[in-house]
Structures are given as C-alpha cells and as structure tokens.
Chain A
Amino acid sequence: MALVMFVSYLILIICVLVGVAFVTLLERKILGYIQIRKGPNKVGFIGLLQPFADAVKLFTKEQTVPVKSNFLPYYASPVFSLFTALIVWLVIPYEIGMMNLNMGVLFFLCCLGLGVYSTMSAGWASNCKYSLLGSLRAVAQTISYEVSLALILLSFIFLVGGFSLELFNLYQESVWFLWVTLPLALIWFASCLAETNRTPFDFAEGESELVSGFNTEYSSGGFALIFMAEYASILFMSALFALLFLGGGPSSPLFYAKLVGVSFAFIWVRGTLPRLRYDKLMGLAWKSFLPVSLNYLIFFMGMKMLCYCSMI
C-alpha cells in the first residue's frame, strides 16, 4: 500500500514537472496570439519541443554566485521553493493510490505559508538591493492575500463541514460551487493570482522598477528552479480552483480540461491587465477582500446552521 502511494506520488510529481514545462509553452503561445504574433513555432513540431530546449538552455548556462551573497541560503532557497511547490500536490484527492489526506485543506494552507520563506531567503541572501526590495514586496503581498485566501477557504469548509478535499467532490455533484458563490469564487481567483505573484499583482518582479525582483541575482539552475516552482504553483492553484468551484475530482477526465481552462484564464489575465499600484494592491487585500470574505464567513455559518438544523 505504501509502495503504491509512493510510486503514484512519484508519477504525479514527474507529470507535474512535464506539465510545468508545457504550461510555459502554453503561456508563450497564448501571449503571442494575444499580441497578434505566433509565439514559438520552430523547435520540434510546431514549437512543441520548445520547453525542453529552454530547459537545456537554462541548465547549461553559467551559474554565478554574487560575492557578497550568503551562499547557503542563496543556493538552498530555490530548492526549497520547488520542494514546497511539489509537496503541496499531495492534497489532490485521487480516489485510488494517493494519500488522500483527510486534513488536506490544512496541509495546503501550511504549504502556502511555507512558500513565503523561500522567496524571503532568496531575496535576502542575494545581497542585492533589487532582490531585497522584491522579496519584501513579495512577502507583504503573499501574507496579505493569504489571510483572505484562508478565510474564503474557511467558508467552504464550514459549508462542507470537513477539511478533506474529497468532500468537495461529494457536495458538488448536482451544482458547482461556482454558481453557489460566484463573488467568492472571483475573489478566490484574484487572491490566487496575487498569491502566485501573477501579472496584475506581480510586484515581486516588477521589471519596470526592480530589475527582476527577488530573483535578480539568480542564473541557470537557481532561476530554473524558481521558475518551475512558480509555474507548478500556478498549475496547483488552477487544480484547486477546479476542485473547489468547478465540481468533479481528478477521477473524471473533464477535471483536467477545467484545470487547463483555469490556467488559460491565469495567462489570459497576464496578457490583458496592466500592473496595479502597490498601495492599491494592499488596499484591495485588506479593505476589500478581507471584509467581504469575513462577512461571507458569517453568512455561511448561518447557512450551515440552517442546513444542519433542518437535517436533524
């Protein structure tokens, strides 16, 4: 049993890494067509091998270590960020073979909280002003949006009455939660964008003011790992969105179509929206998303009470 779990987790991780490669291709293609050009279409067959060519390029580039950097945290933080981005995939509730944690939501929140540390140490250890500023911004942004993310998740936990993500499949058999709680789903989506440092909220690497943000000093392997971690977390957030709001677990093939759809939305947002201002970002998190999600939480408590009382 343990061996089956282990092997299936390994297969999942490898598939996630391959998926990450192709998400980058998807992103470049979609951004290309949004800007009325073709995107990568030469390598391999219609550009399909582009991510692998990119990987080879990234891994054979020169790996610099800034003189004044703290080597150990500088070297370890990309490893740690990829680690947290991969370990979070344990919560995807496969019906057979996988762990199927019955406190999956808590595990997800823990991994989300851990993700901050790698960004922070990467920015601090590089010992570069841009990196430090980028990491400060990223940390403040991520922790701000984490609060509203956790509160939104909490209202759904109240609704389904448990921490297992399997319950979400159960409760969405007849109607998707997207239609039950459309505003909350949209807030969740925006918070996901902010949490993964995606474009309207990508202050961690605002290239117009900070050269590349917290990964300014990274090259080759370190950059590749940070990049992979970022896209793995985007993929995971899309999977979680599909799980929470679009019904149906990973045992139905349609789940993957929904996942790709949400990832497409992530990229579409990047191709469309301009970057916010930093104080507006913070205002959005604390003055708009947080009160709304708290009020919704009270509402859902009442709803749960109603359901529960009518049940007994």
Chain B
Amino acid sequence: MFIMFIVVSTTFVISSVVMILASILSKKLITDREKNSPFECGFDPKGSARLPFSLRFFLIAVIFLIFDVEITLLLPLASIIHLTNMFSWALTGVLFLLILLFGLYYEWHQGALEWSY
C-alpha cells in the first residue's frame, strides 16, 4: 500500500514537473486582448462559451451509468467461481446477463439509443 502511494505521488510529481518546466522554459508572453480571447475563427467571442448542451449526451451518460453499475456487479462473478456452488453461480450469472441483455434490447426498441430522431 505504501509503495503504491509513493509510486502514485511520484508519477504526479513527474507530470507536474514537466508542466512547470514548460511554463518556465516557454517564451515570455506579451499579452493583449485579442491573443487572450478564446478562439472563435477570428471573431470576438459571441456570448458565453458555457452553452447548454444537447440532452442526448446526458441520456448517454445515464445509460452508461446503468451499464457501469451492472459491470461492477458482474466483476466478482469471475473470481467467485471457486468458492460457490456451480449451479447457483450459473443461474445467477445467466439470469443477470439475460436481464441486462434484454434491457439493452428494450432500450434499443424504445429508441433510447438513437442519436437523432
């Protein structure tokens, strides 16, 4: 655990040092209004950049959340095979996967996976 902590913090330090090195080495700035405005094809930026985004992205994220939780539930199934009764392992696993699969098909049928209507 301790070595893991050391390794993770070292990696973080390495990447921060690279970034800070770049900041130090880089050509010194002469800032002006045009250079520091967000890029928008040569125009002055019109309106806020934090636009409301399409709801599709949000729905995809919700579906992803469901599937990710189910993957999390599936993960222990692989290593538990040595510890449990074979029949119950198979029954739970297959039932769970079938529910997942038919859930996906149902979502598909209802059009939740269509990107645009």
Determine the distance from Cα of A224 to Cα of B41 in the docked complex, in whole angstroms.
23
Total cross-chain contacts (CB, 8 A): 205
Per-residue 0/1 for B1-41: is the Cβ within 8 Å of any A Cβ (1 yes, 0 no)?
01110111011101110110111011111010101111111
Number of A residues with CB within 8 Å of any CB on chain B: 78
Contact A68 B115 (CB under 8 A): no
Contact B81 A68 (CB under 8 A): no
Number of B residues with CB within 8 Å of any CB on chain A: 69
Per-residue 0/1 for B84-117: is the Cβ within 8 Å of any A Cβ (1 yes, 0 no)?
0010011001100110110011001000011110
Determine the distance from Cα of A275 to Cα of B64 in the docked complex, in whole angstroms.
24
Determine the distance from Cα of A312 to Cα of B28 in the docked complex, in whole angstroms.
71
Q: Which residue of chain B has the shortest Cβ distance to A294 in the bound complex?
A: B101
Contact A297 B57 (CB under 8 A): no
> Of A58, A75, A106, which is within 8 A of B75 by CB?
A106
Determine the distance from Cα of A61 to Cα of B81 in the docked complex, in whole angstroms.
56
Contact B11 A13 (CB under 8 A): yes
Contact segment of A34-42, A178-186, A195-203, A214-222: A214-222
Q: Is A263 on the interface with B (CB-CB < 8 A)?
A: no
Determine the distance from Cα of A130 to Cα of B15 in the docked complex, in whole angstroms.
26
Contact B22 A304 (CB under 8 A): no
Per-residue 0/1 for A49-62: is the Cβ within 8 Å of any B Cβ (1 yes, 0 no)?
00000000011111
Q: Which residue of chain A has the shortest Cβ distance to B105 in the bound complex?
A: A291
Q: Which residue of chain A has the shortest Cβ distance to B79 in the bound complex?
A: A162
A69 partner residues in chain B, CB cutoff 8 A? 38
Tell me the A residues contacting B by CB distance below 8 Å.
Answer: 2, 5-6, 9-10, 13, 58-69, 75, 78-80, 82-83, 86-87, 90, 99, 106, 124, 126-132, 136, 139-140, 143-144, 146-147, 150-151, 154, 157-158, 161-163, 211, 216-217, 220-222, 224-225, 228, 278-279, 282-283, 286-287, 290-291, 294-295, 297-298, 301, 304-305, 308-309
Beyond the given pairs A106-B75, A217-B39, 17 more chain A to chain B contacts, judged by CB atoms under 8 angstroms and listed by A's residue number, are: A5-B3, A6-B6, A13-B11, A58-B22, A61-B27, A64-B29, A64-B36, A68-B49, A79-B12, A99-B4, A129-B38, A150-B71, A221-B18, A221-B26, A278-B115, A286-B113, A308-B86
